[in-house]
Amino acid sequence: MSLPKPEELARVNYQPPARGWMEVKPDFRPGTYCNAASPKWLEWIDYPYPRQWSVAEEDWQLPENWKEIVLEGMEDRLARFRSLKLFFDICVRCGACADKCHFFLGTGDPKNMPVLRAELLRSVYKRYFTRIGKALGELVGARDLDEKVIKEWFFYLYQCTICRRCSLFCPYGIDMAEMTLLGREMLASIGINIDWAMASVAQCYDKGSHIGATPQAFKDMIDFLAEENERITGIKTPVSYNRKGAEILFVTPSGDYFADPGTFTLMGYLLLFTYLDLDWTFSTYAAEGGNFGWFVSHEMGKRLNAKIYHEAERLKVKWILGGECGHMWRVCNQYMPTWFGQVPSFLEVPVSPVTGTVFENARVHKMVHISEFTADLLRHNKLKLDPQRNAHIKLTFHDSCNTSRGMGIFEEPRYIIQHVLPEGHFFEMPPNTIREKTFCCGSSSGINANENMELRMQGGFPRANAVRYVHERYGVNHLGCICALDRATLPTLLQYWVPEVEVTGITELVGNALVFEGEIERTTDLRDRDLVGVGEQEGGEEEE
Amino acid sequence: MTLKRLLSERRAAILEKWRDRVFACYPPETASFLKREADRFSNPVAHRLTEGLKGIYATLLGEAPAAEVTAQLDEVLRIWAVQDFTPSQALAFVFFLKPIIREELAGELKADAGLTAELLDLESRLDGVALLGFDVYMRRREKLSDLKVSEMKARISGLLRRVGVDPSTL
């Protein structure tokens, strides 16, 4: 072959050939998939078929009877989840969902059209569980289950962040998230798991949090953040751990106490609770609000979640307050009482001790989201705030999929933002990218592994594109959110697409703005950044 | 009439062909979506690619400072550096423009031999744009590597501060 001249290169046809979707197989390019789970994690949690295997290798070392296991698993789930059978049967391929997925928009891969992603599972269902599929096979979109199909499931079911944006546009309300979760369960049943999720699950099961922090490390870290509060504000923010008889158990994801910028949000919680003189406690056992188990299977989600009610009962608290988290909130709000098997009778319907508001919406699960709690405080004028302390921040708000599309928490964070920011410092992203239609961060549901970076940058691109718009148009320099996974993953996303914008939790902004009696003069925000005006004054003094 | 003026007059037609050629790098179902959906937020890839192509074209015509071409290339290449484009595939789009211009202006080029020298000059500049594009592509790939490192640090940044280490100095 002779070396191509540029003119010849220009004639190279890069257009992929038009082929049927069954013939196009995934290309496991490094950067676009998560590593296989190490066997040790599976052994820790007693999960089936632990083994050393690699996604990039041809042989995934499936158990001998893997096909039988998967098909029996599908049969079992079709019986237990009527929704799954309904979703398989009801789709008319109208295509309304096709271009709504952030992974399709970001990767340009047609198999990320939700309709086609579902078809990966549906084709197997048809072949083995419908008469027409058994008889006519590929003619009706049915296909045999082979190892290539398993690889395809793995590739695409971990390119879905169970954000449910597609479901919003589906005229039948087909819930792709549920199909993805059940598909991942079937993969797990033959020992196909991703390391990032399983490491977090095993650590959480063993030690209480995804990062594997011991109770001592948990306490040490939070005590440090309390000291930071005192250094910056002059206010002591005492923390109580495992205190029996406290009114409120506070549960938050581990991202809030180990990783910046979540840590600043946690400092905000402590300031707020101190300001209110709240009767609350942390539990070093329920030290993880997040639940990567739910990204693996319903059963594992339940196993990791159980500690929250158990601790609430052991500590004899009245109700539970949850920190800023997305999937934690979905799990606690929509699954927890069902998994528990009954309405937890040892808890009371949450009542704000400050305003007397009864959180009727939490009557069943007995848990309130911090945004609901804070918005109610503001509604009753219970907080003295100085928004000028956030004057260096021009904010836009990212609706986290689980809290917004999942549960309709749209107004509360915006209401808080209005109070803690100076007027004219908040700018919405375009309507088709927020609220119900919000674009996912692209890294949720356990796929925020380092090795999966390219895929995450693609999946988060629609979100970042809208952030860039408000940055360029209004000078927005911060992206607010009420989700710990967002705080962990959006900074990386934005550093690639819009490096001028930083990520912040909303309670961090509350912490900045709260005015305490007896506080020292604030010169910085909780991140040690000069407040507006302060740096200029210091500069002037230096000149003198 | 100079080549630049011709290119300016035929801008819409040439840009449309260039854009369609670029979209055709994707699977057919995706290419048709990229072409169809006009909303910039519902179709971010098409929007950013188109903006990049428009910018590069304007710079070629001398309408924007030459220094801006790096940012314009980045519009395209920051997307392709994370999508399934090898470096040669990612940079081929620059060369797509050559035959498009020759086809679009075939009549004029035949009629006016004087335009050929200008065209050769323009094509040579396009080669230069492609070389600059290689720098841009590499910078984006390096950025991805940097992000992996900085994310690892961020995951334990609170802990690092706890033990008195400033994560930004690592």
Compute φ and ψ for B38, nearest 5 degrees: -90, -20
**Contacts A6 to B, Cβ<8 Å:** 95, 98, 127, 130
Peptide bond into A39 cis (omega under 30): no
Structure tokens at A150: 């398993």
Cβ proximity of A373 and A410 under 8 Å: no
Structure tokens at B16: 């449309």
**Could you tell me the CA-to-CA distances from A157 to A70, A196, B4 in Å, in that order?**
15, 15, 50
For residue B153, what pLDDT is reported? 84
Structure tokens at A105: 């928009």
DSSP assignment of A309-344, as one string?
HHHHHHHT-SEEEE-S-SHHHHIIIIIHHHHHTS--
Per-domain boundaries in chain B: 3-169
Interface predicted TM-score (ipTM) of this complex, two decimals: 0.95
For residue A541, what pLDDT is reported? 46
Compute φ and ψ for A31, nearest 5 degrees: 105, -15
Three-state helix/strand/coil letters over A186-206: HHHCCCCCEHHHHHHHHHHHH
Helix, strand, coil % in chain B, rounded to nearest 5? 80, 0, 20
Structure tokens at A115: 């309709």
Please tell me whether residue B1 adopts helix, strand or coil conformation.
coil
Three-state helix/strand/coil letters over A232-251: HHCCCCCCCECCCCCCEEEE
**Is A457 within 8 Å of B144 when comparing Cβ atoms?**
yes
- pLDDT tens digits, one per residue of A278-324: 999 999 999 999 999 999 999 999 999 999 999 999 999 999 999 99
Q: Which of B48, B83, B151 sits opposite A465 (nearest CB)?
A: B48
**Contacts B95 to A, Cβ<8 Å:** 6-7, 9-10
Q: What angle do CA A257, A260, A261 make, to 5 degrees?
A: 105
Structure tokens at B43: 């179709």
Please tell me whether residue A392 adopts helix, strand or coil conformation.
coil
Please tell me whether residue A530 adopts helix, strand or coil conformation.
strand
- pLDDT tens digits, one per residue of B36-91: 999 999 999 999 999 999 999 999 999 999 899 999 999 999 999 999 889 999 99
Instruction: Inform me whether the pLDDT recorded for B152 exceeds 90.
Output: no
| Residue among B42, B91, B146 with most chain A CBs within 10 A, to mutate | B42
For residue A540, what pLDDT is reported? 46
For residue A542, what pLDDT is reported? 44
Orientation of helix A114-129 relative to helix A176-188, angle to 10° = 60
- pLDDT tens digits, one per residue of B78-123: 999 999 889 999 999 999 999 999 999 999 999 998 899 999 999 9
**Contacts A35 to B, Cβ<8 Å:** none
Segments of chain A scoring below 50 in pLDDT: 10, 539-544
Q: Where do we find the tokens 């309405």?
A: A343
Looking at chain A, the domain(s) classified CATH 1.10.1060 span: 23-193
**Is B99 within 8 Å of A497 when comparing Cβ atoms?**
no
Q: Looking at chain A from residue 261 to 300, which residues have their Cβ under 8 Å from any Cβ of chain B?
A: 262-263
Interacting residues of A72 by C-beta distance below 8 A, sequence separation 6+: none
d(CA B43, nearest CA chain A) in Å: 7
What's the one-letter identity of residue A511? G
Q: What number of CA atoms fall less than 13 Å from residue A39's CA on the CB side?
A: 7
Architecture per CATH, domain A23-193, reads as Orthogonal Bundle (1.10)
Structure tokens at A173: 């309300």
Which strand ranges, in their side-by-side order, compose the sheet holding A502-505? A395-397, A478-481, A502-505
